[in-house]
Chains A and B, each alone.
Chain A
């Protein structure tokens, strides 16, 4: 096994200050608030899990927040809103697409007020354009290209965006989907979030070729991007370009965004495959929130007081969501068999 060497990666050019200036203070603040909200909701939910209030699987996005925050900042404006499909690591995307912390937390608690009425849990969150949260690795990729197909069929110019992990790129669903999307010019953006680990297996023990997007896109004759996922501004600038490209040529794009996750694969993973010192150096160097905060400060867009106030606001929302979930009713056993069929 080789060590993961970011040096071999040719990342999309990083121009943090220039991009920050273009986005402007309010856009940068908005992104900071969203990343903080994701972090606080997940941190509180982890605490609830450890108290036994949340069951099943729980996959935290901590360390990767900049990626989906940037993508939603780019795509969630205007009339042509995309379809989204995600892996089981889907709390952040739901929050970014407007699911309230209350709805997310209540779903984690398995309550009737949850996003999926307590039927889905942590891995299955939805909006009218978010097709999940899917629990089978790679299973969401065909769904996303199906949504892109539907848009093309109906002559709607919006793309579909699919998120998957590095572990999913070796599944057949990924390759069959890429072939069909390339063959039929489906407007979709397939985003591989390379968080380095497929559960406890390093990407270099699972994927034969890296950089992933660069090498795989070549196989299917489509464009690729490789982005440093710890930097909101890098993601924002790259996805702005990708958005324009897809709008122009209606072709699939394969994107690899690298950001090592800070937590275990799921909450029940003790993470023994990573040295403590190594992990703390990653967390120290790559925390997307810290990077974003430092950038804003260096651009005179943020004061310590403003940051503290934002943190407080997000923490309070997360705490309130726990209270909401706690006090919400359990689903009624009388409704168990409802909704199996539409």
Chain B
């Protein structure tokens, strides 16, 4: 099978374009997605191809257009709503939480809400306190939502296509700092299933669990430790593929979870709890976490690096857990 090397923004664009070709109810709506070609160029060229009926610029009105998307989804369309930053979803979160997440259950199954909310999540480069929050722990707390966070172009394309076809509300979390990351992606159409973690690298000494941009730090750290590390990319945060994690931890007996979001009630906390419940007898070391410290994201480069997970922190904790060096 022939391959192409593309970056994440191109992978996302291809996914959107292919699904728009496949299904005429799919449309894109958000701030600067059309004439400006996307704040991060994910939707570049789509207005020229599909026209203003299906690639729609909105005013700065996240509550309004997120809710409009939910209503349109209930009425038979498949909206892709772009948030320029997921931090802007906070002014729209009543629509995501009270309407999108709960509608199917609350209506006794009468209404489905097939909608994708996508955009960059978490920290970029020094964008400070109000543009850097990781939203996955907040939204993954809500039954009814699917939360996806790919770490590479292959998964980004295959998962976004699955998300668009899914009949539930999906939050699709990207990273501004990863849009330029490239990898090989098949030329032919493919899907990546929702709810399946991926073992990126097999190992026997320790299981490293992460998702999204933190996978980059994990990969760098693995190169520097003298150990056989099994790296698991969650890819989908909710529903969580706990089976893949359990299988790995029962083999390695050690687990470190790396998350860009905060410690308190985070994704790592949830994974650690599941491991505690299901792998207690297999553990040779307490489950460890490296997350964002309990601070808003500071502007200073030095402080930003200090609060976030990093390669150095991961190397340090893995070494400690393996009692080497």
Contact residues of A with B, CB < 8 Å? 83, 85, 114-120, 124, 126-128, 131-132, 134-136, 139, 141-147, 149-151, 153-154, 160, 172-173, 176-177, 179-180, 183, 339-342
Contacts and interface: CB of A to CB of B under 8 A. Distances in A.
B111 interface: yes
Interface string B67-84: 111111111110000000
Contacts of A342: 104, 109, 112-114, 167-168
Residue from B53, B103, B107 whose CB has the most chain A CB atoms within 10 Å: B107
Given A115-B108, A116-B108, A135-B98, A83 B64 contact: no
Given A179-B59, A340-B143, A146 B106 contact: no
Contact of A180 (B65, B75, B91, B98): B65
B264 interface: no
Contacts of A124: 106-107
Nearest to B146: A341
B71 A146 contact: yes
B58 interface: yes
A149 B111 CA distance: 17
Contacts of A172: 63, 91
B202 interface: no
Q: Please provide the 3 A-B residue pairs with the shortest distance between their CB atoms, ordered closest to farther.
A: A146-B71, A142-B67, A176-B64
Interface in B241-295: none
9 contacts: A116-B107, A132-B106, A149-B71, A150-B76, A160-B71, A173-B95, A183-B59, A341-B104, A342-B109
A340 B109 CA distance: 8
A142 B66 contact: yes
Nearest to A124: B106
Contacts of B74: 131, 143, 146-147
**How many B residues touch the partner, as a band?**
35 or more
A144 B70 CA distance: 9
Given A115-B108, A142-B64, A341 B168 contact: yes
B73 A146 contact: yes
Contacts of B70: 142-143, 146
B110 interface: yes
A117 B108 contact: yes
A176 B106 CA distance: 25
A146 B107 contact: no
B168 A173 contact: no
A149 B144 CA distance: 24
A160 B27 CA distance: 20
A180 B57 CA distance: 11
B105 interface: yes
Interface in B108-123: 108-114
B61 interface: yes
Contacts of A118: 108
B110 A134 contact: no
Contacts of A126: 107-108, 110-111
A145 B104 contact: no
Nearest to B66: A142
Given A134-B98, A183-B59, A146 B67 contact: yes
B104 A340 contact: yes
A236 B146 CA distance: 44
A99 to B, nearest CB: 11
B99 interface: yes
A116, A143, A180: most-surrounded residue (chain B CB, <10 A): A143
A146 B111 CA distance: 14
Nearest to A148: B71
B52 to A, nearest CB: 10
A126 B110 CA distance: 7
A86 B99 CA distance: 13
B90 to A, nearest CB: 13
Contacts of B73: 146
Contacts of A117: 108-109
Given A176-B65, A179-B64, 15 more contacts: A116-B110, A119-B108, A131-B75, A132-B103, A132-B106, A139-B67, A142-B67, A146-B73, A147-B72, A177-B67, A177-B68, A339-B104, A341-B168, A342-B113, A342-B167
